[in-house]
Amino acid sequence: MGALRIAVAVVTMGNRPAEVDALLESVAKQDLAPTRIVIVGNGCPLPDFGERLALPGEVTLLELDENLGCPGGRNQALARLREFGDVDVVVELDDDGLLVDADVLRRVRDLFAADPKLGIVGFRIADEHGETQQRHVPRVGASDPMRGGYVTGFLGGGHGFRTAMLDEIGDWPAEFFFAHEETDLAWRAADAGWRILYAPELLLQHPKTSPARHAIYYRVNARNRVWLVRRRLPLLLIPVHLAIWTLLTLVRTRSRAGLRAWFGGFVEGLREPAGERRPMRWRTVWRLSRLGRPPVI
């Protein structure tokens, strides 16, 4: 088998033109040029980046008529890449992120080349001051963001997928629109025997943000969590997971309006169809627990 071929996919809402330009410039400066770059306008028109920037590889612009959410937009990029059929690894980047180092894509390629069962590589997310928020570290507790290794999840803002893994387990859960789509995909990958690596040397600079800035956060966060466990957990663990998560939400949430929206989303998650039920095996539960995050937390 020859050298792995890498593609870069970026989904944008059209409201961060300067940030997208900066991200693509950082991609263009990589010492390993991607085979392809796909830029998706998620319900927004796109300028001709190929003319504005000296981008490497083949550049594909894809404009969607409506906003399909982050997972839906990424699925469109993956579908287009499959049409070409010449990519082994896809690196997906938030449109307001930035690759500070010039060797990120080469490091990603080398990590996948060294481990044939590696399905996902998660980047370290840090702001312009080098600070990594604790919620961006894929471990329970106050973990050191510079400690890498195999984990149970990954960060949606910057990561790499092996396309063979996606062909086996499927793409993003588009119906989630926003929140918990990474966990759904990670659990499917782990259940199929693929490894997930957190590689802190792969840095994506990203502004410090809170997910609660989105108006739909509390409702969709609750709905999707219920959908997630209905789809992926053994029956015995569903009430355990939801009980722990409800208690944590009541302790952490200070906004009454947020709690009302959260409970509305929780009920919606119970009433609405959750999608295909494909629960993980008990040996996967044990494997996730040994990695430090049992799927009830």
CATH number of 148's domain: 3.90.550.10
DSSP class of residue 3?
P
Residue recorded with tokens 């609405």? 272
Do 221 and 251 lie in one domain? The reply is yes
- Contact between 27 and 8 under an 8 Å Cβ cutoff? The reply is yes
Structural domain ending residue among the three candidates 166, 191, 209 = 209
Do 253 and 136 lie in one domain? The reply is no
The residues with which 99 forms a beta bridge, in sequence order, are: 204
Do 116 and 102 lie in one domain? The reply is yes
Predicted TM-score of the model (pTM) = 0.95
- In this prediction, residue 213 carries a pLDDT of 52
How far apart are alpha carbons 116 and 13 in whole angstroms? Answer: 34
DSSP class of residue 279?
P
**How many separate domains does the chain show?**
2
Q: Which residues in 205-244 are b (16+ Cβ under 10 Å) and which e?
A: bbeeeeeeeeeebbbbbbbbbbbbbbbbbeeebbeebbee
296 is a domain residue: no
Structural domain ending residue among the three candidates 151, 184, 209 = 209
284 is a domain residue: no
Do 41 and 148 lie in one domain? The reply is yes
Do 218 and 204 lie in one domain? The reply is no
Max Cα distance, the chain (Å): 57
Do 81 and 198 lie in one domain? The reply is yes
294 is a domain residue: no
Do 253 and 176 lie in one domain? The reply is no
Do 12 and 74 lie in one domain? The reply is yes
20 is a domain residue: yes
pLDDT > 90 in the chain, percent? 84
For 239, the domain range is 214-277
Q: What is the pLDDT of residues 243-275, one digit of tens each?
A: 999 999 999 988 899 999 999 999 999 999 999
Overall residue count recorded for the chain in this entry: 297
292 is a domain residue: no
Closest CA to 36 of 84, 79, 71, 4: 84
How far apart are alpha carbons 57 and 144 in whole angstroms? Answer: 36
Q: How confident is the model at residue 232 (pLDDT cuts 50, 70, 90)?
A: very high
Do 22 and 78 lie in one domain? The reply is yes
248 is a domain residue: yes
- Contact between 285 and 294 under an 8 Å Cβ cutoff? The reply is yes
Do 222 and 136 lie in one domain? The reply is no
Q: Cα 196 to chain center, whole Å?
A: 12
Structural domain ending residue among the three candidates 150, 185, 209 = 209
Do 151 and 220 lie in one domain? The reply is no
Q: Calculate mean pLDDT across residues 282-287.
A: 98
Check whether 36 has a pLDDT greater than 90. Answer: yes
285 is a domain residue: no
Do 78 and 185 lie in one domain? The reply is yes
More confident residue, 208 or 90: 90
Check whether 100 has a pLDDT greater than 90. Answer: yes
Q: How confident is the model at residue 216 (pLDDT cuts 50, 70, 90)?
A: confident
Q: Calculate mean pLDDT across residues 87-95.
A: 97
